[in-house]
Homo-oligomer: A and B are copies of this chain.
Amino acid sequence: MDLTFEEFRDSLASRSRRAKVLKRDGRHFFVLISQQFSKEELDNLCDTATAIRRLDRHVDGREYLRALLRGARIMNLFAQPSTRTAESFVAAADKLGAHSRLVSDIRTSSFSKGESVEDSVRTLSSFFDGIVARHPDDDFGIRAAWALSKTQRTIPVISAGSGKSQHVTQSLLDFYTLRYSLAAKGGVDGKTVMIVGDIARNRAGRSLAYLLTKFDSPTIHFVSPRAHAPDDQLLEYIRGHDIEVHVHHAIKPLLESHGESIDAMYMTRLQQEWDKGNVAGQPSTEQKLGTADDFILHHDYRKFIRPDCVLMHPLPRVNELPDEWEEHPGFVVWRQVRNGMWIRAAVFATVFGADEEIRDRGKRLGLM
């Protein structure tokens, strides 16, 4: 394969050319963007995650899982610190018996001596069988995949968040949790989802909206400050999939009028670290942390919604989802965190070709 970096990157935008660069032997080898999974592949991924989760409950299943990727070595190349995402990947690899290393100095040492990014990635990749990459540059994961795809020792690359653009495993875990939580009610098709917060700057909320377009006629209500409302590109993309979408600027009036119709709420915090004047993506010490009243899900709003309404949040939270909600039957925020580990294990199983075997075993043992 002799694509330039630009050709490689641009082919990701096209559904037909995408598979050729991301898949090997018919399976996903590079996991870089949410859109790369078809609806059927998403279902398989979720089923794999469920099988792993249930196999892990008993000692036999745990031993079975830990033998699957034994000896495989994963490099978590985190140029941007993110302990919880990194630990979630490490735990996921661990469940399947793979060995993880956290490497964080891609920007230093040899790089500062004049080495190219490609040489850096390739050198480090020599000691590993797979890479999980997180980087502030939007294209880093894609560049790593491209650089390795030209070598004789190509190994899988999984993005753990590149810049502000994509955080594919976060959107997969959200999708998995939503699908699972709505399963008893017939799945995601036709459901109504409210997404609250900083839509413009929160990739989690936006990515979830993109994934929802894979389903039959769901309805989406965005609730966000005017300054951080969903952009036209996002809205047009969603409408282009025949999906009803509305934009609001306060939670309360929406819940008063439509609360009963809402099947799931996805709360997010205000990304204040990106406010103008801040340095290095950190909130300034003078900022009052937390969102305005219109975007807080006060606990007394519970009277407007159904008890089975699913309540999600990608964490960390500030003031937008008060602790009292933990008692709500549909509160699945902590399950989301654990699901992040299970879906990442499913992603590892997929890129290393062990997923079908796992699903088969799960089915044979009546676990799913």
Q: How many residues of A contact B (CB 8 A)?
A: 52
B73–A110 touching, CB < 8 Å: no
Closest beta carbon of chain B to A49's beta carbon, Å: 15
Q: Is A315 an interface residue (CB 8 A)?
A: yes
A113–B82 touching, CB < 8 Å: no
Contacts known (A84-B124, A105-B83, A334-B151); A113 close to B341, Cβ less than 8 A: no
A115–B317 touching, CB < 8 Å: yes
A112–B337 touching, CB < 8 Å: no
Q: Is A366 an interface residue (CB 8 A)?
A: no
Q: Is A122 an interface residue (CB 8 A)?
A: yes
User: Assembly of this chain: how many copies?
Assistant: 3
Contacts known (A81-B105, A84-B110, A316-B110); A341 close to B94, Cβ less than 8 A: no
B87–A334 touching, CB < 8 Å: no
Mask, A95-124, CB within 8 Å of B = 1, is 000010101010011101111000110111
Closest beta carbon of chain B to A290's beta carbon, Å: 6
Mask, A73-98, CB within 8 Å of B = 1, is 10100000111100110110010000
Mask, A262-290, CB within 8 Å of B = 1, is 00000001001100000000110000011
In-complex Cβ contact of A283 among B113, B152, B341 (8 A): B113
Collect the chain B residues with CB atoms within 8 Å of residue A368's CB: none
Bound Cα distance A337, B152 (Å): 14
Closest beta carbon of chain B to A328's beta carbon, Å: 14
Collect the chain B residues with CB atoms within 8 Å of residue A87's CB: 75, 101, 103, 124, 127
Bound Cα distance A62, B72 (Å): 11
Closest beta carbon of chain B to A266's beta carbon, Å: 17
Bound Cα distance A282, B127 (Å): 26
Collect the chain B residues with CB atoms within 8 Å of residue A91's CB: 73, 127-128
Closest beta carbon of chain B to A316's beta carbon, Å: 4
In the complex, the chain B residue whose C-beta lies closest to that of A125 is B337
B71–A83 touching, CB < 8 Å: no
Contacts known (A103-B87, A115-B317); A66 close to B73, Cβ less than 8 A: no
Max chain B CB contacts within 10 Å: which of A88, A115, A123? A123
Q: Is A292 an interface residue (CB 8 A)?
A: no
Max chain B CB contacts within 10 Å: which of A62, A91, A114, A319? A114
Bound Cα distance A73, B272 (Å): 34
Contacts known (A73-B91, A103-B83, A123-B337); A113 close to B318, Cβ less than 8 A: yes
In-complex Cβ contact of A334 among B99, B120, B122, B289 (8 A): B122
- Per CB-CB distance, the 7 closest pairs between chain A and chain B, nearest first, are A114-B289, A115-B316, A114-B318, A91-B127, A110-B316, A126-B337, A87-B127
If A114-B318, A127-B341 are given as contacts, then 19 extra A-B residue pairs at C-beta distance below 8 Å, sorted by A number, are A62-B71, A81-B105, A81-B108, A83-B103, A87-B124, A90-B101, A91-B127, A112-B282, A113-B269, A113-B283, A114-B290, A114-B319, A115-B315, A115-B318, A119-B316, A123-B315, A126-B334, A126-B338, A152-B334
